[in-house]
Structure 1
Amino acid sequence: MTQTVMCRKYQQELEALPFPPLPGKKGQEIQATVSKRAWEEWQALQTRLINEKHLNMLDPEARAYLMEQLERFLDNRDTDQAEGYVPPSN
């Protein structure tokens, strides 16, 4: 049986992450409050931001920027978007 979690982003019970996506307390908090669906959507946005903005993940400022964008994404607030990105049409 699949574990579920009350997703912070979607405000409904959805499939949970199988393990913490980040180390430490923050990863445990995300696993307990963020669905697999929301995390996968965040990973896609994060990848676009890293690529488009040429972020160096060794730079503490770039990592802080992504954590800020993560919080905004999970709280359903506006996030930065990759310029020129056009989502695939269904």
Structure 2
Amino acid sequence: MSRTVFCKKFQEELEGLDAPPMPGSKGQELYENVSKKAWQEWQAQQTMLINEKHLSLMDPNTRKYLQAQMDRFLNNEPFDKAEGYVPPEN
């Protein structure tokens, strides 16, 4: 049976991550409070930000920026979106 967590993004019990997504206390906090679904959605947002804003992950300021945007996304706060992205219509 898969592990469940009370996801802070969706405010409900959902399937948890298989392992902490990053080292240290931040990774552990994400492991305990973020669902697999929320993490996958963040990964997609992060990829769009990196591509559309031409960000370099070698730059420490970029990593700080992405971490701040991740925190905002997972806490349901306003976050930067890729300007050129238009979501497909359902």
By the TM > 0.5 criterion, same fold? yes
Distance of 1:16 and 1:49 partners within structure 2: 24
Distance of 1:89 and 1:3 partners within structure 2: 33
Match of residue 85 from structure 2: 85
SS at match of 2:18: coil
Match of residue 64 from structure 2: 64
The one-character-per-residue Cα deviations of 1:10-67 (angstroms, maximum 9, x if unpaired) are 1100000000111111111101000000000000000000011111101010000000
Q: Give the % identical residues.
A: 61
Distance of 2:67 and 2:33 partners within structure 1: 16
Distance of 1:88 and 1:43 partners within structure 2: 18
Q: Report the residue type matching 2:3 in the other structure.
A: Q
Structure 2: state its 5+ residue gaps: none
Distance of 2:37 and 2:80 partners within structure 1: 20
Q: Report the residue type matching 1:59 in the other structure.
A: D
Match of residue 45 from structure 2: 45
Distance of 1:21 and 1:86 partners within structure 2: 28
Q: Which runs of 4+ in 1 moved over 3 A?
A: none
> Is the contact made by 2:6 and 2:12 (CA closer than 8 Å) also made in structure 1?
yes
Q: What is the aligned length?
A: 90
Across the aligned residues of Structure 1 and Structure 2, the Cα RMSD in angstroms comes to 0.7
SS at match of 1:42: helix
**TM-score, length-normalised on structure 2?**
0.96
